[in-house]
Amino acid sequence: MLTDEQIEEMMARVRKLELKARRLVRESFAGEYLSSFRGQGLDFDDFREYQHGDEVRFIDWNVTARMNTPFVRKFREERELTVILAVDVSGSADYGSVSLSKREVAAETAAVLGFSALNNGDKVGLLLFAGEPLLFIPPEKGSRHLLRMIREILVAKPDNAGTSVAAACDFLIRSLRRKSLVFLISDFYSDPLDKPLGKLARKHETVALRVIDPLENKLPKAGKVVMIDSETGFETLVNTDNPNLRMAYEKLMRRQHEGVASVFHKHGIDSAQLATQGDTLAELHRLLKRRSRKRTR
């Protein structure tokens, strides 16, 4: 149970995130979001008489037979998206060696994407997951709805602190009735990834945002330290002065990152790395620009 002081501190963080996210959306993200993510297809609009150059496949033969002249179906682009923010709040999400934890970076990213979506008239929903799905908030519109989601990201305390991207993917596949835009925000220290992400990407437009911390990639030379796995609680004494150990660790983490990146590439999942240091949203900016350029080709 949170104390009154903790609740007030948490709400202050939410308000600060809201102000920052609204400013970023207003200044730069709104246009890039709009050009990067469009509606998921075409809605039927009306019928009109066939004109030279119209697609033959759009001829409606029932109406044509009744009117005794060719008629085609008119469509309009479906602009409204259903956006799902699937956020990893496992034990490793609370790690941060610089200023922000990975959970705080995830909350900031979710806020920017959420306000961008609302600005575009889209509905936004939330899935929180760790070792299993924890909380699902169905897609709706409105800033109050979004602020509740940001608050839930910051305060969630899973009983199972592990990470199961597979369980999150399975939940979304079973729960989302219409094609949606899914932002998976996680460090992706999870197995398996290949089949679950492939299934999700085939059914929904999927974007992977990997939150990383610099110390997870490269051990500093700091003597003997006790390292604790935040998801299992396992403790081990490590001599970080050992150059062979540091080299082996760096090689292991590089292979892990390359493996995850290859899964994203295999299934056509656009991705970005968001760091807990520096400008955490610079890479998100670049991702939106890349998507926008691809759609205008």
- Domain ranges in the chain? 4-37+82-296, 42-77
Which of 151-160, 185-194, 264-273, 279-288 is predicted least confidently? 279-288
pLDDT in tens, 218-257: 888 888 988 888 888 889 999 999 999 999 999 999 999 9
The answer as to CATH 3.40.50.410 being correct for domain 4-37+82-296 is: yes
- Whole-angstrom distance, CA of residue 128 vs CA of residue 240: 34
Distances (CA, A) of 31 to 25, 116, 254: 8, 9, 34
User: Is the pLDDT reported for residue 88 higher than 90?
Assistant: yes
Give me the amino acid identity at 23.
Answer: R
Q: pLDDT-based confidence at 53, cuts 50/70/90?
A: low
Tokens standing for residue 111: 């806020």
**What is the structure's pLDDT at 73?**
77
